[in-house]
């Protein structure tokens, strides 16, 4: 497991690091609560926080609280607090602050490794629950709940972001002609191609998928056109037939002062424009003063890019 060791004593850090690495763990050691929190906030944060209870500056209890908040529902973290004290109140405070376990300091090797094995079982169970709650069973992509949880987390952040919404063209006809098994195969193949481009795509409806892009609409437009091209380029193979599948895409940007709810509505409007404008195209939404017009930019036919498609800008 990846273990973040927060221990102010240099000798203690060296001994524990050697003990844990000998058992096959990856260890990142630091000497302050502030530095530990920085490591915890990184996207590829640790599985376990093994921390002393005696820090200067930020208290260990503050670190526990902060670590538990950073972990969130999509990122499990096992926290073990080390202390030479036998004070029951201190133990209770640490557990109330977010710690999962408590061990004496210096910890005995056999006991520490056993507690880490117990922590791994807990982390594995939490990850499985997260997988069940966050992933779509049919396609393996993130599900609607996970996508809107991501939107909620991004809502408070000031950086520019865009939303991409896509829909499989004429999907009802696929179900009507080839049954729901055929429809499921189309969904699975479309999802596979989406995941190859960006694993963060989510299935948010029957044949509707979405992606949160942390960047301007131009960045999202490049992804949208790549997705459109990849889906249209090759037919989807069913047991008795090959189907030419295309998608329509709407893209919107969350501008300063705009909520993601409004950006999602703009992306849906752009998607509708792609559908009503002929399908197999990408429409970019730009909204200002509650007025909008369409400016079409047809793409030239190119077998390497799939069937003819268009990029359409919904200009303010």
HSE-CB at 38 with a 13 A cutoff on CA atoms is 8
Query: Tokens 């990856």 appear where?
Result: 26
3-state SS assignment for residue 165: strand
CB 36 within 8 A of CB 6: yes
Which sign, positive or negative, has the C-alpha torsion 118, 123, 126, 132? negative
Strands (E), the chain: 2-6, 26-30, 48-52, 78-83, 101-104, 142-143, 161-168, 202-203, 208-213, 236-237, 242-243, 247-254, 281-285, 293-298, 310-315
Using alpha carbons, select from 2, 309, 23 the residue that is nearest to residue 166: 309
Q: What are phi and psi of 37, to 5 degrees?
A: -65, -35
Q: What are phi and psi of 215, to 5 degrees?
A: 175, 180
179 vs 181: CA distance, rounded Å: 5
Neighbours of 237 (CB within 10 A): 11
3-state SS assignment for residue 2: strand
Q: Is 207 a catalytic residue?
A: yes
CB 2 within 8 A of CB 40: no
CB 209 within 8 A of CB 278: no
Catalytic residue among 7, 189, 207, 225: 207
Point out the residues that are catalytic. Answer: 207
């Amino acid at each position: 497991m990846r273990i973040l060791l927060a221990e102010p004593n240099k000798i203690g850090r060296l001994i524990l690091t050697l003990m844990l690495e000998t058992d096959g763990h990856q260890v990142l050691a630091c000497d302050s609560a502030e530095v530990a929190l920085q490591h915890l906030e990184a996207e590829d944060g640790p599985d376990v926080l093994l921390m002393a209870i005696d820090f200067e500056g930020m208290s260990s209890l503050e670190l526990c609280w902060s670590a538990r908040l950073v972990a969130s529902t999509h990122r499990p973290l096992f926290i073990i607090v080390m202390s030479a004290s036998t004070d029951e109140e201190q133990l209770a405070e640490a557990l109330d602050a977010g710690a999962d376990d408590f061990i004496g300091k210096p910890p005995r090797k056999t006991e520490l490794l056993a507690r880490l094995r117990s922590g791994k079982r807990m982390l594995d169970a939490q990850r499985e629950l997260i997988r069940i709650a966050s992933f779509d069973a049919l396609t393996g992509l993130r599900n609607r709940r996970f996508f809107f949880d991501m939107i909620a987390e991004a809502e408070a952040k000031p950086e520019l972001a865009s939303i991409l919404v896509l829909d499989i063209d004429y999907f009802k006809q696929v179900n009507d002609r080839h049954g729901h098994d055929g429809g499921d195969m189309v969904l699975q193949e479309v999802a596979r191609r989406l995941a190859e481009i960006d694993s963060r795509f989510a299935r948010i409806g029957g044949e509707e998928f979405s992606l949160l892009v942390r960047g301007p609409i131009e960045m999202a437009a490049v992804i949208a056109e790549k997705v459109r091209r990849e889906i249209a380029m090759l037919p989807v193979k069913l047991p008795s037939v090959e189907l030419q599948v295309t998608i329509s895409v709407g893209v919107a940007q969350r501008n300063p002062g705009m909520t993601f709810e409004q950006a999602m509505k703009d992306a849906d409007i752009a998607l509708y424009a792609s559908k009503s404008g002929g399908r197999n195209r990408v429409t970019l939404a730009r909204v200002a003063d509650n007025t909008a017009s369409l400016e079409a930019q047809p793409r030239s036919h190119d077998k390497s890019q799939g069937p003819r498609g268009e990029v359409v800008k919904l200009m303010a």
